[in-house]
A = this chain, B = another copy of it.
Amino acid sequence: MIQSVAKVRVLYADTDQMGVVNNVVYLRWFEIGRAEWLRQHGRPYKELETLGHMLPVVEAHLRYRLPALYDDIVDVHGGPIEVRAASLKFGYSLRRERDGAILCEGWTTHACISPDGKVKRLPDELTALFRVGV
């Protein structure tokens, strides 16, 4: 269910003075993971938002395993791992492209809300799409 969806190159701006990627950067890569999974399954997030289905992050978990280094290529794996009536969970695995080593694993939970901020049920078509993914 979690599959390779994108590759990103570590920028100098992503590193900190410990000589590794700073912990705040990985949540950006998680965003890439879910956005590209959605795109590759025919439903770009931009389109979902236009239809009034917003999926803000309500919970996030990150397990940093090995430091990503400057200029590394990171292979971003992502995909849905759980679907509920009004929420959705995406899982991620960020791997060093060179050897497949896991740099960071984690997940994010998303509520489904309408543009006015009210929580709502996931539309049936999205539930179906995500269930296939899971």
Residues in chain A within 8 A of chain B (CB atoms): 9, 11-13, 15-20, 22-24, 27-28, 31-32, 35, 44-46, 54, 56-64, 67, 70-71, 108
Chain B residues in 8 Å Cβ range of A22 = 12-13
Q: Assess the B70–A63 pair: CB atoms within 8 A.
A: no
Closest B residue to A63 by CB, please name it.
B59
Sampled A-B contacts (11; CB under 8 Å)? A11-B32, A11-B35, A12-B18, A17-B18, A23-B108, A35-B71, A45-B71, A58-B64, A59-B64, A60-B60, A60-B62
Q: Assess the A17–B61 pair: CB atoms within 8 A.
A: no
Q: Assess the B27–A16 pair: CB atoms within 8 A.
A: no
A interface secondary structure, majority: mixed
Q: Assess the A54–B24 pair: CB atoms within 8 A.
A: no
A93 vs B102: C-alpha distance in the bound complex, in angstroms? 30
A9 vs B45: C-alpha distance in the bound complex, in angstroms? 13
Q: Assess the A70–B17 pair: CB atoms within 8 A.
A: yes
Most chain B CB atoms below 10 A, which of A9, A18, A57, A61: A18
A22 vs B21: C-alpha distance in the bound complex, in angstroms? 13
Chain B residues in 8 Å Cβ range of A44 = 71
